Amino acid sequence: MNDLEQHILEAQDAYYNGEPIMSDAEFDKLWDELKRKFPDSELLTKVGADHTDGFQKAQHLMLMGSQNKANTAYEMDKFFKKGQSYIASLKLDGISIELQYQNGHFIKGVTRGDGEIGDDVTENVRKMKNVPLTIDEAFTGSVRGEILLFKSDKEKYFPEAKNCRNQASGLAKRKDGKGCEHLSVLCYDALSIDDNRTWSTETMICNYLLGNGFKISPFVERSDWDGEKAIDYIHDVWTYLDTIDFDIDGIVFKQNLIDWNDKKTSYRPATQIALKPARDEAISKVTGVEWRMTNGTLTPVVQISPVELNGTTVVQANCYNAKQLEVLDIEVGDTVAVVKAGLIIPKIVENVSKDKRVKDY
């Protein structure tokens, strides 16, 4: 247990401070192994910390925990309760932030930290897009969101960046705030410290945020969810993933009727869950490479020997761009590892022949 916990803590520290040492899929496997073998581990009740030296620390108004995770329709079936309404929203892959307001005026921006105390990055947040500095005068409390570097802004301002999340993390923690004007904040939760009963449903919170100038994570509300419908929904989202201008890594489902005790006291609330389908890998041989034009961009499509993956036969797989093809050094005859991102799109993530792997996919 100690070995697993240490490995997870090292991965969390690297992830929250902008230099991941493993892919999300690899981390999820470690986490699931800890949960399966040692369900009493205290680490399972905590969240990773993103404290950075040089920043003042600030107390959260809202406990900033994380979601429990599900991979399968069976797990989702156990989460849903018949007759209950739930909202589903895109799980934003960015940097968690709390926006604190007093009498309707923005006064502080605090990173997640350890869930209770985070870094005060107020001046950087003031420069970011979609952060209303003045809202409803009666509101004193916090709004929770995610700092994101949109894909279009990455290509325009930081084309050399490895990925959007790492770049956003680095910019958000810059002492001089340079580049923060290219970051955006999307929100998904709020807490009024004067009257928690103001909102009885998650839908009401989303509508309040929209009505006060915030940009939010897109959501849908339904009362007929079950495991299969949840999997079908994430499948649908993954079919248009390339058209979304920011990174996501799953779907968050929340019970629409708010349990304030659960929300205020739980690091991992029982009334919400993140669906992140497991990414099985298959090994195959490269038989050729084709180039296809998509929206004016040439994209390499690697032809592979037929292989079974998530219930279908795969004969070709994408590389994200020419750079990835170069990084993996793919040639005809190489042995490669293939995954289905979101159980839909086959992707090459490793050149086994040359021991070269993509860390983030």
Which pair of structure tokens corresponds to residue 154? 């990455």
Q: Are 184 and 98 in contact (CB under 8 A)?
A: no
Q: Please, which residues have CB within 8 angstroms of residue 26's CB and are 6 or more apart in sequence?
A: none
What are the two backbone dihedrals, phi and then psi, of residue 63, each rounded to the nearest 5 degrees? -60, 125
Give the residue among 178, 18, 176, 32 at the shortest CA–CA distance from 111. 18
Q: Please, which residues have CB within 8 angstroms of residue 312's CB and are 6 or more apart in sequence?
A: none
**Can you say whether the dihedral through the CA atoms of 185, 187, 191, 192 is positive or negative?**
positive
Place of tokens 């999307």: 186
Place of tokens 């290509």: 155
- Predicted pLDDT of residue 360: 47
The structure's pTM equals 0.73
- Predicted pLDDT of residue 279: 60
Tens of pLDDT, residues 39-74: 888 887 766 666 566 789 999 999 998 889 998 889
CB-side neighbour CA atoms (13 Å) of 7: 14
CATH number among 3.30.565.10, 3.40.470.10, 2.40.50.140, 3.30.450.40, domain 281-357: 2.40.50.140
3 state SS of 353: helix
Single-letter amino acid, residue 80:
F
Can you tell me the distance from the alpha carbon of 15 to that of 8, in angstroms, rounded to the nearest whole number?
10
Say if strands 68-70 and 272-275 run parallel, antiparallel, or are unpaired. Answer: parallel
3 state SS of 105: strand
Give the residue numbers annotated as catalytic, written as ranges: 91
* Domain locations along the chain: 46-52+65-275, 281-357
CATH 3.90.1280.10 for domain 46-52+65-275, yes or no, is: no
Place of tokens 């792997």: 357
Tens of pLDDT, residues 9-31: 888 777 766 566 776 667 777 88
Single-letter amino acid, residue 322:
A
What kind and span of H or E run contains 117? Answer: strand 117-119
Place of tokens 């939010």: 216
DSSP category for residue 114: T
Segments in the chain below pLDDT 70? 16-20, 23-25, 46-53, 195-197, 278-280, 294-295, 310-311, 320, 341-344, 358-361
- Predicted pLDDT of residue 41: 87
Helices (H), the chain: 2-16, 24-37, 73-79, 122-126, 151-157, 164-172, 202-211, 227-239, 260-265, 322-328
